[in-house]
């Protein structure tokens, strides 16, 4: 029955149990059913009506002005001040972005056991009731970016795989914020007013499967401690990090991309790179480094290293490549060194003997004043 309804959806309007319909279809229901009391769904010939998708095939209502289709409830850009009522209980995706919702109340999502994706981006949310998310036992993606939240919401379902909560007012990531969230794969926390102590030690420790963490454009001054060993990409650009300690990267055996551009890093401790043996890309441009980080020649996989816009005054022939022409090392495909005080004509060409192609090196351009 359901699939029959779905396939008819575009040529006709298929509804099963209209009970208190609102909108222009009212008279048709009256016509066909008379009393308006619920009737069991019946097959009927296609009716030539405009394709206005106001009903779900299963007989639940679609909130006023939203569109419901294939268990997707689309209520974006409607100026809504609250989460609408009567969201079909079998919905899998609820899109409420670009509205004016300021609060998520305790029962706003009650019974939405099948919901997998909840989009609340670009509202005015300051409060999410501590129990509001508890009923979403199958939630996988929660998008809360561009709101006014001061905290990570409590009781995020353990099923969650992706949390995007950048551009809020969060000042602190507490150790309890992500407790037990073993299914998270993607975590986006950037552009929040986190300061030096804004991330508790071990705040991410329970994220045993996390592959991507981004905490860019905040004011944290160090790399968060106790990052999970499953991490594949770590983006910490645009912060106030002053130092890369070897310790902070310990155990990140799968880390492949590390973004640390636009920080205030003057030191990369010796041993840091040895702790991330599978690193392929390292972005350290726009920092305060005075030398090329140690450990590059011994590093087997690194292929891209951005060091432009630092204070590097000298580059040695052993800074990037192992002695001689050791081919166990992956060739570099990108090295940038421009906007450093080193006079580029003083850098020996042999320095780049393990670079794939000359065009992979960006060297010149430094202007002193």
Ligand X SMILES: *[C@@H]1O[C@H](CO)[C@@H](O)[C@H](O)[C@H]1NC(C)=O
| Region of 34-42, 78-86, 215-223, 242-250 interacting with ligand X (CB under 6 A) | 215-223
Residue 275 binds ligand X, judged by CB under 6 A: no
Residue of 111, 193, 343, 349 that binds ligand X (CB under 6 A): 193
Residue of 21, 168, 218, 261 that binds ligand X (CB under 6 A): 218
The alpha carbons of the chain give a radius of gyration, in whole angstroms, of 27
Q: Which helix H or strand E contains 8, and what residues bound it?
A: helix 2-8
DSSP 172-233: -B-TTTTTT-TT--EEE--SS---TT-B-TTTTTT-TT--EEE--SS---SPPSS--TT--E
- Least Å distance between CB 273 and ligand X? 10
Residue 219 binds ligand X, judged by CB under 6 A: yes
- Least Å distance between CB 169 and ligand X? 9
Binding mask 28-67 for ligand X (x = CB under 6 A): ----------------------------------------
Residue of 138, 169, 176, 229 that binds ligand X (CB under 6 A): 229
Q: Could you tell me if 335 and 364 are in contact, meaning their C-beta atoms sit under 8 angstroms apart?
A: no
Residue 12 binds ligand X, judged by CB under 6 A: no
Residue 134 binds ligand X, judged by CB under 6 A: no
DSSP 15-28: -S--SS--STTHHH
Ranges of beta strands (E only) in 226-343 are 233-235, 243-244, 257-259, 267-268, 281-283, 304-306, 334-336
Residue of 97, 230, 266, 317 that binds ligand X (CB under 6 A): 230
Chain centroid to Cα 349, Å, comes to 40
**With CB under 6 A, what is the number of residues at the site for ligand X?**
9
Residue 294 binds ligand X, judged by CB under 6 A: yes
Those residues with Cβ within 8 angstroms of residue 148's Cβ, 6 or more apart along the chain or in another chain: 102, 124, 125, 126, 168, 169
| Region of 22-30, 98-106, 142-150, 212-220 interacting with ligand X (CB under 6 A) | 212-220
Q: Point out which residues bind ligand X (CB under 6 A).
A: 193, 217-219, 229-230, 254, 270, 294
């Amino acid at each position: 029955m359901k699939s029959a309804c779905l396939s008819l959806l575009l040529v006709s309007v298929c509804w099963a149990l209209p009970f208190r319909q609102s909108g222009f279809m009212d008279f048709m229901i009256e016509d066909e059913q008379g009393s308006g009391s619920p009737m069991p769904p019946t097959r009927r010939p296609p009716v030539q009506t405009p394709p206005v998708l106001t009903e779900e095939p299963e007989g639940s209502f679609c909130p006023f002005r939203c569109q419901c289709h294939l268990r997707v409830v689309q209520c974006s850009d409607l100026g809504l001040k609250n989460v609408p009522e009567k969201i079909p209980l079998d919905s899998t995706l609820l899109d409420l972005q670009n509205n004016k919702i300021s609060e998520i109340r305790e029962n706003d999502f009650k019974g939405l056991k099948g919901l997998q994706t909840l989009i609340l981006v670009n509202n005015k949310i300051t409060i999410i009731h501590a129990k509001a998310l508890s009923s979403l036992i199958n939630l996988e993606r929660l998008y809360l970016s561009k709101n006014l939240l001061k905290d990570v919401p409590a009781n995020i379902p353990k099923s969650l795989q992706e949390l995007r909560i950048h551009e809020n007012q969060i000042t602190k990531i507490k150790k309890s914020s992500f407790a037990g969230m073993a299914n998270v794969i993607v975590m986006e926390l950037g552009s929040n007013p986190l300061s030096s102590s804004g991330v508790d030690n071990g705040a991410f420790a329970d994220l045993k499967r996390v592959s991507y963490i981004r905490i860019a454009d905040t004011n944290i001054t160090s790399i968060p401690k106790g990052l999970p060993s499953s991490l594949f990409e770590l983006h910490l650009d645009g912060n106030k990090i002053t130092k890369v300690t070897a310790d902070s990267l310990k155990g990140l055996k799968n880390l492949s991309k590390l973004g640390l551009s636009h920080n205030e890093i003057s030191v990369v401790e010796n041993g840091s790179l040895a702790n991330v043996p599978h690193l392929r890309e390292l972005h350290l441009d726009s920092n305060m480094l005075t030398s090329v980080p140690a450990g590059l020649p011994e590093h087997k996989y690194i292929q891209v290293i951005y060091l432009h816009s630092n204070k590097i005054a000298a580059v040695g022939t052993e800074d990037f490549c192992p002695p001689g022409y050791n081919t166990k090392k992956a060739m570099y495909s990108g090295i940038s060194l421009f906007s450093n005080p080193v006079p580029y004509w003083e850098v020996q060409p042999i320095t780049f003997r393990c670079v794939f192609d000359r065009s992979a090196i960006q060297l010149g351009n430094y202007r002193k004043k």
